[in-house]
Structure 1
Amino acid sequence: MTTVLTFSNFKGGTGKTTNSTMTGIELAKRGFKTLLIDLDPQANATNLYLKTKENVNGEFVTFGQTLMAGIKNKDIKATIIEA
């Protein structure tokens, strides 16, 4: 069974990134497979997760383009980051 959670609001500063990333982390800690799709053109959730990964295990990971850029360029394969 799959459950989809969406955090959205047109207004900035409403806690979308904070709520979605913290929910994803908590669900993963509880043993659920989680997938976070970061549609923010600034990729704030992606940056947060990558900085967390670096702090936890010292692994520095970067990404070439955001998902929104990949959609615009019609090449989303380059935006996928395996964690």
Structure 2
Amino acid sequence: MERNICLNWEELVQEAIIRRKQQKLTQKQLAILSGVSGPTVNQFEQGKTNIVLESALKILKCLGLTSTQITRNSKHK
């Protein structure tokens, strides 16, 4: 049986921002640690949906958000 997962992008971004601040990282520091550009981190945190998925995943991974955690609070369709 096929299962579609619908991510709440806004909640995911907010969780990432909270984690970045808890870890006392600036956007620039997060960019360096995750291997993406500073503007990419800024776009991600502004909730831009035209960000490259690979870049978003690098940011989330750097903040300790795994695919299991990302999909845990998502709605299944």
Question: Is the TM value for this pair above 0.5?
Answer: no
RCO greater where, 1 or 2, for CA within 8 Å and sep 6 or more? 2
Structure whose residues are more often strand by fraction = 2
TM-score (norm 1): 0.26
Structure whose residues are more often helix by fraction = 2
Larger radius of gyration: 1
TM-score (norm 2): 0.27
